[in-house]
């Protein structure tokens, strides 16, 4: 391989320019031989030597100037060949001018220069085509075995990948067939590759051409169609990769940059759910020029909220988080993106500490607060219920009270579907947070609202990153129960819902997003295994571990008492508020506060008081997980 690389490099650097001069000389000789029969001009060495030298010099100078010799011809496309053709014609004209200036035109007539130009042009292009074929063959021979690849799609991006598979030694695949849903393309060839059918024919085409690799090369395809394609591919147990969406493709779509942009399957592509874009002018108008505070701004949802808020012309964005590493990362990202255009303050502290919160609110004077700070991991909170209460319940209470004290205009709580008929500590604490928001909604000038949604794809601790790690490690992939299902949405969608809710809120609402159909977790695991080129049961095992403490098979978005009220946005609904006995509620909060601050509270007692405060909370057995 090293010999081939050295040979090709030397051929390109030294021999190709010499061969170009040889082509010019041969064109001269052929033109003389052909023209001699018509003009009877004798071909003698000494009489023609000055003209030959002018010919060679003209070609060397023009090819160097263009610069034809600095082109990497193994990767050349149409513009490079056009440039070479133009250089040949200019060199011919330059040579004719030199002959005219130095009196050599007596040797040649006009016809000679016409023949010479044609021969030189054909020779220069032919030399490069031969070089490309030979060098491509040597590179492919040096590259070793490549995976036989089926392309889904037969457009511009597919053509670039086909070219790459033939020319780049670092490319680990060779395209053997393609499919496309455009009937006019089926039966034809793309860059010599047969287009053998539609996407419905992927299994039969993959089998017929012994495909070991599938690339979905349709950057503009929608999520639903993409999911249908992935469903078909997942049955084959063949490794699948994707080209980025159109917006993420490199501007200069040459073969090498497109090849480098191949990526793994995104979680939302497995679900086939089209992203819901909820952002409208009302949200921009609502946030523009405002001072905004995001608690938990370094987390999965909090950081995406910060990204979207920063793009809407706020006068100040304050990020408040206890975990300085996450806060630092989002700070650096936003400063790189916006520089001095964004007034960004990043402050470290805990929502448990009311004194610190008051200090932050006094200094920052926020007009809008998004409260995303919370403990969210269900099994962990089952074994540390007092920490869930301290952080989730009283962190929310502290932030709400600070908002009222400093006359915040709107307070938006980030909640979860686990707050509906909770069976775990985390869900019960988030339901208490919703009750806090609804109880304050009618007693202060601050407008309080909550936003409730299901599982978020790609968030810290979510199931898909876990499955990816388990597949990369060779398994097993762990699923708690074969029947467990969940609602999913993307992080940007969840954040857009929160911002839309903030703009729409009047006070006391619990906003819910239409999240589509729930997904069976085991089906998600099987798809991820199969699209990694592996087979369940043969290459990787799926192991059922049983429901974790506090986990339930089905999540709900609304309690039966809440009902569903439509909003002007067809994708957003409002749960009707449930009447709260305020006196009992405040007493329950007081009792919980005294218990969790008592020094060493028993988990059983914390769960018991949670169940008393949230009458829809039904733990399997009070304190049994402690």
By the 8 A CB rule, do 195 and 186 touch?
Answer: yes
Calculate the alpha carbon distances from 617 to 312, 405, 613 in Å: 39, 31, 9
Residue bearing the bigger pLDDT, 568 or 288: 288
| Of 88-92, 152-156, 353-357, 473-477, the least confident | 88-92
> For residue 39, is pLDDT > 70?
no
Euclidean distance between CA atoms 206 and 196, whole angstroms: 10
Residue bearing the bigger pLDDT, 395 or 624: 395
Euclidean distance between CA atoms 238 and 214, whole angstroms: 7
> For residue 11, is pLDDT > 70?
no
CATH fold of 281-460+490-516+556-594+601-613: Rossmann fold (3.40.50)
Residue 623's pLDDT is 46
> For residue 162, is pLDDT > 60?
yes
> For residue 317, is pLDDT > 60?
yes
Residue 273's pLDDT is 59
pLDDT of 375-421, one tens digit each? Answer: 988 889 999 999 999 999 999 999 999 999 999 999 999 998 888 88
Q: Is the peptide bond before 67 cis (omega within 30 degrees of 0)?
A: yes
| Of 233-247, 308-322, 355-369, the least confident | 233-247
Q: Token match 């393609």: residue? A: 178
By the 8 A CB rule, do 479 and 447 touch?
Answer: no
> For residue 335, is pLDDT > 90?
yes
By the 8 A CB rule, do 475 and 540 touch?
Answer: yes
**For this structure, is 590 an active site residue?**
no
> For residue 560, is pLDDT > 50?
no
Give, as one character, the DSSP assignment of residue 507.
S
DSSP output for 48-69: HHHHHHHHHHHHHHHHHHTTGG
By the 8 A CB rule, do 161 and 129 touch?
Answer: no
For residue 193, what are its two tokens?
A: 């590759």
| Cβ-based neighbour number of residue 97 at 10 Å | 12
Average pLDDT of 502-518?
A: 81
| Of 63-67, 186-190, 377-381, 460-464, the least confident | 460-464
Q: Which of 37-46, 185-194, 252-261 has the highest mean pLDDT?
A: 185-194
For residue 420, what are its two tokens?
A: 């509906």
Residue bearing the bigger pLDDT, 72 or 218: 218
Residue 309's pLDDT is 95
Q: Can you give the three-state secondary structure of 232-243, one letter per residue?
A: HHHCCCCEEEEC
Average pLDDT of 172-191?
A: 86
Q: List residues bridging with 286 in a β-sheet.
A: none
Residue 122's pLDDT is 81
Residue 483 pLDDT class (50, 70, 90 cuts): confident
Residue 462's pLDDT is 67
| Of 251-255, 271-275, 327-331, the least confident | 251-255
Give, as one character, the DSSP assignment of residue 169.
T
Give, as one character, the DSSP assignment of residue 316.
E
| Of 30-39, 269-278, 361-370, the least confident | 269-278
> For residue 292, is pLDDT > 90?
yes
Residue 558 pLDDT class (50, 70, 90 cuts): very low
By the 8 A CB rule, do 250 and 258 touch?
Answer: yes
| Cβ-based neighbour number of residue 544 at 10 Å | 14
* N-terminal to C-terminal alpha carbon distance within the chain: 63
Query: Domain spans of the chain?
Result: 2-141, 145-263, 281-460+490-516+556-594+601-613
Euclidean distance between CA atoms 326 and 476, whole angstroms: 30
Residue 452 pLDDT class (50, 70, 90 cuts): confident
Euclidean distance between CA atoms 406 and 419, whole angstroms: 28
- Spell out the CATH class of 145-263: alpha beta
Euclidean distance between CA atoms 41 and 32, whole angstroms: 8
What is the enclosing helix (H) or strand (E) of 394? helix 394-405
Euclidean distance between CA atoms 119 and 23, whole angstroms: 8
Based on the number of CB atoms within 10 Å of its own CB, is 210 exposed (0-12), middle (13-18) or buried (19 or more)?
exposed
> For residue 170, is pLDDT > 70?
no
For residue 317, what are its two tokens?
A: 């964005």
Mean pLDDT of the chain: 79
Euclidean distance between CA atoms 491 and 275, whole angstroms: 10
Residue 441's pLDDT is 85
Euclidean distance between CA atoms 425 and 598, whole angstroms: 19
Average pLDDT of 487-492?
A: 76
Residue 626's pLDDT is 47
Residue 172's pLDDT is 73
Name which of 351, 450, 365 is nearest 409 in CA terms.
365
Calculate the alpha carbon distances from 572 to 19, 72, 412, 558, 575 in Å: 71, 56, 15, 13, 10
Where does residue 4 fall: left (phi above 0), alpha (psi -120 to 50 degrees), or beta otherwise? Answer: alpha
Residue bearing the bigger pLDDT, 415 or 227: 415
Euclidean distance between CA atoms 372 and 501, whole angstroms: 14
pLDDT of 88-117, one tens digit each? Answer: 888 788 777 777 776 666 566 677 777 777
Angle between helical axes of 425-441 and 603-613 (0-180°, round to 10): 40
DSSP SS3 for 320: strand
| Cβ-based neighbour number of residue 319 at 10 Å | 27
List 290, 410, 418, 430, catalytic entry: 418
By the 8 A CB rule, do 167 and 255 touch?
Answer: yes
Residue 137's pLDDT is 55
Q: Which of 97-106, 508-517, 569-578 has the highest mean pLDDT?
A: 508-517
Please state whether the predicted TM-score (pTM) of the whole model is above 0.95: no
Name which of 444, 356, 375 is nearest 403 in CA terms.
444
Name which of 213, 274, 300, 270 is nearest 522 in CA terms.
270
- Cα torsion angle, 261, 264, 268, 273, sign: positive
Euclidean distance between CA atoms 581 and 575, whole angstroms: 18
For the chain, percent of residues with pLDDT exceeding 70: 76
Q: Degrees (nearest 5) of the Cα angle 45, 50, 53?
A: 100
For the chain, percent of residues with pLDDT exceeding 90: 27
Average pLDDT of 62-77?
A: 65
> For residue 562, is pLDDT > 80?
no
Give, as one character, the DSSP assignment of residue 449.
E
> For residue 77, is pLDDT > 70?
no
Average pLDDT of 350-366?
A: 96
By the 8 A CB rule, do 497 and 509 touch?
Answer: no
DSSP output for 64-92: HHTTGGGS-GGG--HHHHHHHHHHHHHHH
Q: Degrees (nearest 5) of the Cα angle 237, 241, 242?
A: 140
Name which of 59, 88, 213 is nearest 151 in CA terms.
213
Residue 118 pLDDT class (50, 70, 90 cuts): confident
Residue 258's pLDDT is 57
Residue 515 pLDDT class (50, 70, 90 cuts): low
> For residue 557, is pLDDT > 80?
no
Residue 252 pLDDT class (50, 70, 90 cuts): very low
Euclidean distance between CA atoms 113 and 121, whole angstroms: 12
Q: List residues bridging with 381 in a β-sheet.
A: none
Q: Is the peptide bond before 593 cis (omega within 30 degrees of 0)?
A: no
């Amino acid at each position: 391989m090293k010999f081939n690389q050295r040979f090709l490099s030397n051929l390109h650097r030294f021999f190709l320019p010499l061969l170009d001069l040889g082509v010019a000389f041969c064109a001269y000789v052929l033109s003389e031989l052909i023209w001699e029969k018509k003009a009877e001009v004798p071909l003698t060495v000494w009489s023609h030597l000055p003209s030959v030298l002018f010919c060679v010099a003209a070609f060397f100078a023009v090819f160097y100037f263009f610069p034809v010799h600095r082109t990497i011809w193994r990767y050349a496309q149409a513009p490079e060949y056009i440039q070479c053709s133009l250089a040949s014609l200019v060199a011919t004209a330059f040579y004719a001018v030199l002959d005219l200036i130095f009196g050599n035109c007596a040797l040649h007539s006009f016809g000679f220069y016409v023949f010479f130009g044609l021969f030189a042009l054909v020779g220069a292009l032919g030399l490069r085509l031969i070089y490309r074929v030979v060098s491509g063959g040597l590179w492919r021979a040096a590259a070793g075995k490549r995976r036989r690849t089926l392309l889904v799609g037969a457009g511009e991006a597919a053509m670039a990948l086909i070219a790459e598979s033939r020319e780049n030694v670092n490319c680990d695949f060779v395209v053997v067939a393609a499919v496309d849903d455009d009937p006019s393309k089926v039966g034809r060839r793309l860059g010599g590759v047969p287009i053998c059918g539609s996407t419905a024919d992927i299994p039969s085409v993959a089998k017929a051409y012994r495909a070991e690799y599938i690339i979905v090369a349709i950057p503009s395809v929608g999520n639903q169609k993409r999911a249908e394609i992935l469903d078909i591919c997942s049955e084959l147990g063949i490794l699948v990769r994707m080209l980025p969406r159109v917006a993420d493709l490199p501007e200069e779509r040459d073969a090498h940059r497109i090849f480098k942009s191949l990526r793994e399957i995104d979680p939302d592509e497995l679900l086939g759910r089209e992203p819901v874009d909820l952002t409208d002018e009302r949200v921009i108008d609502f946030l523009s020029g405002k001072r905004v505070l995001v608690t938990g701004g370094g987390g999965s949802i909090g950081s995406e909220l910060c990204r979207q808020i920063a793009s809407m012309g706020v006068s100040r964005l304050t990020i408040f988080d206890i975990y300085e590493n996450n806060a630092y990362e989002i700070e650096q990202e936003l400063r790189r993106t916006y520089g001095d255009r964004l007034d960004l303050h990043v402050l470290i502290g805990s929502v448990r500490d009311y004194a610190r919160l008051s200090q932050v609110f006094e200094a920052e004077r926020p007009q809008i607060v998004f409260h995303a700070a919370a403990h969210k991991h269900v099994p962990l909170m089952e074994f540390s219920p007092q920490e869930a209460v301290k952080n989730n319940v009283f962190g929310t209470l502290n932030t709400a009270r600070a908002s009222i004290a400093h006359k915040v205009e709107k307070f938006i709580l980030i909640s979860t579907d686990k707050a509906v008929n909770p069976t775990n500590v985390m869900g019960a604490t988030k339901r208490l947070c919703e009750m806090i928001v609804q109880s304050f909604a009618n007693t202060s000038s601050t407008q309080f609202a909550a936003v409730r949604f299901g599982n978020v794809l790609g968030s810290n601790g979510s199931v898909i990153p876990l499955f990816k790690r388990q597949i990369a490690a060779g398994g097993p992939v762990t699923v708690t129960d074969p029947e467990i299902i969940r609602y999913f949405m993307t992080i940007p969608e969840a954040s857009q819902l929160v911002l839309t809710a903030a703009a729409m809120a009047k006070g006391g609402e619990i906003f819910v997003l239409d999240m589509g159909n729930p997904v069976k977790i085991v089906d998600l695991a099987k798809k991820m295994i199969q699209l990694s080129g592996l087979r369940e049961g043969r290459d990787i095992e799926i192991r059922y571990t049983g429901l974790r403490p506090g986990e339930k098979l089905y999540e709900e978005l609304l309690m039966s008492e809440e009902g569903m009220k439509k909003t002007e946005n067809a994708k957003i609904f409002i749960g009707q508020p449930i009447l709260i006995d305020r006196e009992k509620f405040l007493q329950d909060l007081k009792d919980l506060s005294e218990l969790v601050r008592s020094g060493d509270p028993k988990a059983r007692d914390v769960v018991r008081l949670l169940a008393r405060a949230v009458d829809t909370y039904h733990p399997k057995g009070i304190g049994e997980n402690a």
